[in-house]
Amino acid sequence: MKQLFFLFVFLFFASVCFAQDITGDWNGTLHPNGGELRLVLHISKNSDGSLKATLDSVDQGADGIPVSSATLKDSKLSLDVQAVHGTYEGKVNADASEISGTWTQGMPLDLNFHRGGIARKPAPKAAPPSDIDGDWLGTLDTGVGKLRLVLHIANTDQGLTATVDSIDQGAMALPVTTITRTESSLKFQMKTIGGAYDGTIS
């Protein structure tokens, strides 16, 4: 009987001591409709040992999105992010270096997290404006309707930067991931929506 008691005590403390520690920063990438959204998940603990978390959507410039609840049970991580009506269900691997699972926000998408954050560039500083700096208005014919778009271009010490407003959709300051100009050629990508543009400057 004593041997069984000590075995139980040993197993109990072993389960506590070797419980997976997932606190820290995790990074992952969503691919909605061919686009790309980089996410950083910050996990820490409350004073009572329960988990708490926030989420950064790097490409959308949204940091500190509150995670309403975060629970880990039997290596299964569950997140409820009410602020964006999203949920996540993932499986933590044996050495707690990866979480593989599914993000659901209207539709399910694969989302795997890995240890570590995402290195960010220093904020660009203003530079003398280029000859194409300013606001450019265009109309996109989608086949089922037309959308007015405004491209905002600004020159910085890191080169050209830009954002796009979709006026008729009420979506403002959508980030342009990369924008390059080579003589009269202008190209830019918007990974958040899986879009790209290739044009010629008159």
Per-run averaged pLDDT (10 residues), the chain, 202 residues: 48 49 95 87 96 92 92 96 95 96 95 88 85 96 93 94 92 89 94 88 95
44-66 exposure pattern, b = at least 16 Cβ within 10 A, e = fewer: eeeeeeebebbbbbbbeeeeebe
67-76 exposure pattern, b = at least 16 Cβ within 10 A, e = fewer: beebebeeee
pLDDT of residue 4: 47
pLDDT of residue 14: 42
Residue spans of beta strands (DSSP E) within 96-177 = 98-104, 108-115, 134-141, 146-156, 159-166, 171-175
Closest C-alpha to 176, from 198, 153, 159: 153
What whole-number distance in Å separates Cα of residue 199 and Cα of residue 42? 40
What whole-number distance in Å separates Cα of residue 139 and Cα of residue 186? 17
pLDDT of residue 17: 41
